[in-house]
Amino acid sequence: MGVKERQARHRDELREKILDAARELLVRDGVEQVSMRKIAKKINYTATTLFHHFPNKDALLWAVCEADFLALRRSFEKIATIADPLERLRRMGAAYVSFALEHPSHYRLMFMTPQLHQGNFESEKLHKGNPDQDAYAFLRATVAAVIEAGLLCDEHKDADLVAQIMWSGVHGVVALHLIMGNDTWLEWRPVETIASGVVETMIAGMIRPGKRA
């Protein structure tokens, strides 16, 4: 490996280290309480070093969001090849839960940090409405395919509404698990089992009579 390659690798590794530290602090302390100086201190670098990678806090926040939302969309790649849209919808629920369990800090920042969604983080890599980049657009397109196939009752023709119903149900399962999963007051069943039950129940409530559920 040459000097330039080593320098590029070091730069990429440091950038990931910065993003990881920022994500952890943003989840723990909230967007308003996190500064470039605090992030730098966490990884034992100077704030000046961070400014070599990100011109300001907003740029750093955008980079974390872009990386995490793209990672969620990439977790659906194998599902995208499933021809049956109803099966694809089922599998999305399972993949969504798996992503949250594997990346709890990512998930908390993305979907459990209110201040995060006050800005517009659209970019060339993360374009709103592009199902190849935007996880919600991929979910909506899948729901639209289910509707187009005539599998849902007539009252369930709004693809955005159905997508948001499905998403809300699975998010509720994940949020409960992340917040209360270690609470011994309840004898929790496996989160994957609960999520699957929620998805199947929602589908059964919307499926057209006579169609397979």
Mean model confidence pLDDT for the chain: 90
Under the banding of pLDDT at 50, 70 and 90, the label for residue 212 is low
- Domains of the chain: total: 2
Which residues span the domain enclosing 14? 1-55
- Distance separating alpha carbons of residues 197 and 26, to the nearest angstrom: 32
Please indicate, yes or no, whether residues 95 and 199 belong to a single structural domain of this protein.
yes
Q: Are 70 and 179 in contact (CB under 8 A)?
A: no
Please indicate, yes or no, whether residues 7 and 81 belong to a single structural domain of this protein.
no
Report pLDDT digits (tens) over 107-141.
988 898 876 666 666 677 788 899 999 999 999 99
Please indicate, yes or no, whether residues 3 and 72 belong to a single structural domain of this protein.
no
Which of the listed residues 15, 33, 55 is the one where a domain comes to its end? 55
> For the chain, what's the residue count?
213
What is the reported pTM?
A: 0.86
Report pLDDT digits (tens) over 45-101.
988 889 988 999 888 888 888 899 999 999 999 999 999 999 999 999 999 999 999
Please indicate, yes or no, whether residues 196 and 146 belong to a single structural domain of this protein.
yes
**For position 110, which CATH number holds?**
1.10.357.10
